[in-house]
Structure 1
C-alpha cells in the first residue's frame, strides 16, 4: 500500500513538473512549450523554416486532432494541434503535411523559385511552371507538361500546385530528394523519415540544449493516415513532450525510425 502511495506521489510530481513547462494559453510552440529546467532553445534565424515552425499558430490547448472527414483521431498520441486547415479529401497525409509546411513557409517569404518537389516517378515539379500557366497531364504512368492555360491568381495557382503534389508525392519521393543529416547537427525543420509504402515522416519542430551537458532535446510533429490535422507528439519515455536527441533508434507513438533516418530539405 505504501509503495502504491509513493508511486502515485511520484507520478503526480512528474505531472506537476510537466505542467509547469506548458503555458496552456500560449498560441505557438515558443509560447506554449517552455524548455525544461537547464535547457534553452537553440538559436535560429528569424526568417528560417525553424522559426516559422516555432511560431506557427496552434489551436486551443486540449483541442482534438480532426480527420479530413471531421471525425476525431482515436489514438491520443498528441499534446497540441497545429491550426492547419485540411482538404475535405484524404490527401494531406504524413509526407504531404511536411511538404505543405515547407511550401507555405517559402510562399510566405515570396521564394517561389525554391518551391519545387519531386513526385514518386522522380520527376521534378517546380511551382513557377504552374504560376506561368502550365499544368501536368497524367495518363497512366506518363506525366507531361502542357502550356496555354489561363494564369490564375498566385494563391489559387499555389493551391492547385499543392493538390497535385499531395496526389503524386509521398514519403518515397521526399526521402529521395532530401539530404541525409548528422544527428549532431539537428535543427528545427529537419525530419526523420522512412520512405516506403507505407512509410512515415515526423518533423522536428523545435530543439533545445543543456549548456552544461551538451545534451539536446526536440519536439516532434506529424500528420498520419488517413489525412488528419498536423499535431505535436507526446513523449512517453522522455521529458514529455520533449524527446532526447540520440544517435539511436527513435521510437515515436505510431512509428519507429532506424538510426540514420534524419534528413533535411
Structure 2
C-alpha cells in the first residue's frame, strides 16, 4: 500500500509509504490520502489527523515519472494528493521530516498545523521545471507569509530548512530530526482535549472569513455560533466548568 493509516488514541496517523520514490505522489498515493481523510471524517472516535512520510522524508512532490506515463496525482474535487482542495472538519497536522518539496510542501500547507524537523527542506521548485506550484502553493503561501518572502520561494524555487520555515511563521514546532511525528501526535492529543464541534466551527469560520469583508465574516460566524450554541457539547462544557471536572465530549 502506498499510504498506511494507524489509529493512535483519538488520532489517525497517515503515512505516505513510497520511500523508494522519496514518497512522491502518484495516483495511488492520491487515492490513499483521500481514503485516509474519508476514514478520519467518518469515524466519530477520531478527532485529529497527522500526515507524515515514511523513512525520514515527507514527500518529494509529484511523481514526474508517473506523470509522464499519464498518471494524475490529483483527484477531481479534492486536488493534488487527494487533499489540497479537500474541505475537512477535523484538524490536520503535517509532521515533516526531510524533503517537503513542490507538492509535498503543498500537502503540508493544506494542513492546519505543521511540525518540522530542524533540518527538513521546504521548497516550491516548480519554476525550475517550467511549471508553477498549482497545488495550492501560489495561492496559499502568500496568505501565510509576507508577499516578498512568498515570492522568493515561488520565483527562485530554492528551499529553506525547517528552522528557517519556523522563523518565517510557517511552522508551529521545530524538533530534532526523527521527532516530528511523535511531537505532532503529542500536539494532536492537546487538540483532542477540546470539543470536536468547536474545532470544526473554528475551521469553518476561518475559511469563510478569508478574503471577505468583515461584516460578511461576522455573519458567517453568527451562523456557526447559532448551531454550536444549540449543541449538547456546549452545555457539557459549561457544566464541566461549573463542576470543576474535565468535560466528556460527544460531538453532538
Compare the two structures and name the one with the higher strand fraction. 1
TM-score range relative to shorter protein: under 0.3
TM-score normalised by L of structure 2: 0.25
More helix by share: 2
Higher relative contact order (CA 8 A, sep 6+): 1
Provide TM-score, normalisation by structure 1: 0.24
Higher alpha-carbon Rg: 1
